Amino acid sequence: MDRVGGISSMDSNIGKIRESLDSVEIYSSSFVDALRHNLRLFYVASIDWLKSLEQNDKVYALKNVLISKSQDILDALRSHEVYAKILDRVDNLKYFMYKEVSKQAIYFGCGGLLTGVIVGVAVGYGYRTSPAGSNSFHNGSANNYLMRGIVASNCKRGIDGITLMVLKTPQVLNPDDVIIQVRAVGIDMIDTEIAKGLLHSIRRAHGLRKIGEPFILGRECSGVVVDVGSQVQTLEINDRVWAYLPLWSGKGVMSEYVAVPEKFVALKPNNISFEGAATMPYAFITFWQECIEKYQINPNDIKNRRILIHLGLSSKNDGVGLLATQLLKSWGARVTISTEEMTEDDSSSEVAQMTFLHSLKTFGAESHLIIPVDHHQLSNLAQRLFDIVINTDSSKITPPLSYFCKSPNDKVIETFPTEINNYAPGIGALLLSLLFPLNRILEQTEKSVDPPNAKLNECKRLVESRLIVPVVAKSFLPSQYDQAFRHVARTSESAIAHATVGKSVLVFKSTFK
């Protein structure tokens, strides 16, 4: 009996010890998490402070004064005995290091220093990557992390006002919110215009309040669902999705995490990468709204009809032309692509032109039409050959393509986004926004037609059927945001861009599927 009682007492003591160890483990884990968070905040604040110092003219002037004074002090020391005493001290230190300190102590010290550097780098890397690698949003811990986001901080400065900022991760605030861990974001000419203030103009014309700066850029993305609202029915955590946001919404997706209403999110195609998926949502929805819903292009009646698509495969537009070319060709149409005449006389333009002609055959276009730079010549050169003419050029000045319509009464289909086509600048837009708030009209329109995620599901079907494919022109990392936007702006303003196929993307996380 005594032995049995002793054993039971020992078991209870062991249980208490285990509970104590578990409590110590929980406390240490929470302490380490809090320490990581505070160190990350300190790191971010230090980087911002150092950047502000680098850009401060007073600090730069103080640096020059200190250099000058230091040189004067050194000159003064050289002219007195103090300089000789300092040299003696240095010689004595060298003698001590070489003669008095053993090699074993030196090796041990260097090894400890190297170990400390490696551990510090590893811990710092862990702090930097822990938000992006965490899928614990559904446990309510999203607010404990920070994320990177590309924002427009000053629209008056245009592209120069774009910067990479550290922001708070989004949370589920509405029952239909979907939190997405962004893998890739599409970027095109419209994004550069938004950075120059286009968003403010569109929202003002729609009767919506102005969005404060800075605001996150980006309109289409792909990624993985990490949290959902209570009323989300079509999506689950870990779903691979693509999403888009209307330009007038005032929200952006160019960040590591984004909260998007369910109606703007759908499962991405299984047979394309995240990068490819990030180039398609906005372009497809724009094409579907403008060509299918607005102009009533019927896939069953388009076979053998001649269609002209201006900048059909070009990277200058927002990707609509590339999708329109593939889709209309798959429906049996005879597609012709038009581009403006190149004025650059160099090897790069010739290579771009040859690549473009090869792409025409790849995507099934029947022919290539070159439009002269002098648009006044079109009235004499153009022939009315085409049943449908589609303009995908997002520039402010485009060729008068109506000369190519078979009937003089036919209209050219403009696929530039509806919210921009309807924009009337000036005082008239302000009065219209006061009398007829377009945001209510937009909300009613969204309710009356298929929701955006239904269009994304249709696009998914077409991609998985291999009727349309995405084309990524160039990929950039978030740290290369300035290079990415300048590349898009430069190619959009050049005629060589007409012969560049595909769309650029920003990749927030490496993708393998």
| CATH number of the CATH domain containing 496 | 3.40.50.720
Round to whole Å and give the CA distance between 355 and 380.
30
pLDDT tens track for 312-327: 766 565 678 888 888 8
Is residue 10 in a domain? no
Cβ atoms of residues 509 and 183 within 8 Å? yes
pLDDT for residue 464: 93
Round to whole Å and give the CA distance between 365 and 70.
70
pLDDT for residue 499: 53
pLDDT tens track for 50-77: 777 767 777 777 777 777 777 777 676 6
Over range 455-468, report the average pLDDT.
Answer: 92
Q: Which one is predicted more confidently, 420 or 63? A: 63
pLDDT tens track for 2-16: 554 555 666 676 767
Percent of the chain at pLDDT exceeding 70 = 70
pLDDT at 223 over 60: yes
Cβ atoms of residues 128 and 154 within 8 Å? no
Q: Are residues 266 and 380 in the same domain?
A: no
Candidates 168, 151, 159; CA nearest to 253 is 151
Q: Are residues 207 and 248 in the same domain?
A: yes
Is residue 439 in a domain? yes
Choosing from 125, 154, 174, the residue where a domain stops is 125
Cβ atoms of residues 484 and 156 within 8 Å? no
Q: Are residues 428 and 490 in the same domain?
A: yes
pLDDT at 131 over 50: no
Percent of the chain at pLDDT exceeding 90 = 17
Cβ atoms of residues 338 and 372 within 8 Å? no
Is residue 136 in a domain? no
Round to whole Å and give the CA distance between 325 and 309.
7
pLDDT for residue 311: 76
Over range 495-506, report the average pLDDT.
Answer: 69
Is residue 118 in a domain? yes
Is residue 6 in a domain? no
Q: Are residues 291 and 249 in the same domain?
A: no
Phi, psi dihedrals of residue 145, rounded to the nearest 5°: -120, 160
pLDDT tens track for 325-354: 888 888 889 888 887 776 655 555 555 566
Q: Are residues 176 and 216 in the same domain?
A: yes
pLDDT tens track for 7-53: 566 667 676 777 777 677 777 777 777 787 778 788 777 777 777 77
Over range 461-468, report the average pLDDT.
Answer: 91
Is residue 483 in a domain? yes
Query: For 135-139, 227-231, 341-345, 502-506, which range has the lowest pLDDT when averaged over its residues?
Result: 135-139
> For the whole model, what pTM was predicted?
0.65
Q: Which one is predicted more confidently, 431 or 466? A: 466
- The total of structural domains in the chain comes to 3
pLDDT at 443 over 50: no
Query: For 99-103, 133-137, 408-412, which range has the lowest pLDDT when averaged over its residues?
Result: 133-137
pLDDT for residue 81: 61
Q: Are residues 49 and 181 in the same domain?
A: no
Q: Are residues 463 and 406 in the same domain?
A: yes
Cβ atoms of residues 204 and 210 within 8 Å? yes
DSSP notation for 310-343:
ETSSBSSSSSHHHHHHHHHHHTT-EEEEEEEPP-
Q: Are residues 416 and 463 in the same domain?
A: yes
Is residue 349 in a domain? yes
Return the ∠ at Cα 414 (arms to 202 and 339), rounded to 5°. 115
Q: Which one is predicted more confidently, 466 or 80? A: 466
Average pLDDT taken over every residue of the chain: 76
Q: Which residues are 391's β-sheet partners?
A: 310, 414
Choosing from 277, 299, 331, the residue where a domain stops is 277
Round to whole Å and give the CA distance between 278 and 463.
13
> What CATH number did the domain enclosing 190 receive?
3.90.180.10
Is residue 132 in a domain? no
Q: Are residues 341 and 272 in the same domain?
A: no
Round to whole Å and give the CA distance between 88 and 414.
82
Domain that holds residue 498: 281-507
pLDDT for residue 406: 84
Q: Are residues 207 and 307 in the same domain?
A: no
Strand, coil or helix: what is 107?
Answer: helix
pLDDT at 258 over 80: yes
- The model's confidence at residue 191, banded by pLDDT at 50, 70 and 90, is confident
- The model's confidence at residue 436, banded by pLDDT at 50, 70 and 90, is very low
Choosing from 223, 244, 277, the residue where a domain stops is 277
pLDDT for residue 211: 74
Q: Are residues 503 and 472 in the same domain?
A: yes
Query: For 87-91, 107-111, 369-373, which range has the lowest pLDDT when averaged over its residues?
Result: 87-91
Q: Are residues 116 and 164 in the same domain?
A: no
pLDDT for residue 351: 57
Q: Is the peptide bond before 261 cis (omega within 30 degrees of 0)?
A: no
pLDDT tens track for 286-299: 888 888 888 888 88
Q: Which one is predicted more confidently, 510 or 205? A: 205
Considering 160-169, 208-217, 386-395, the range whose residues carry the highest mean pLDDT is 160-169
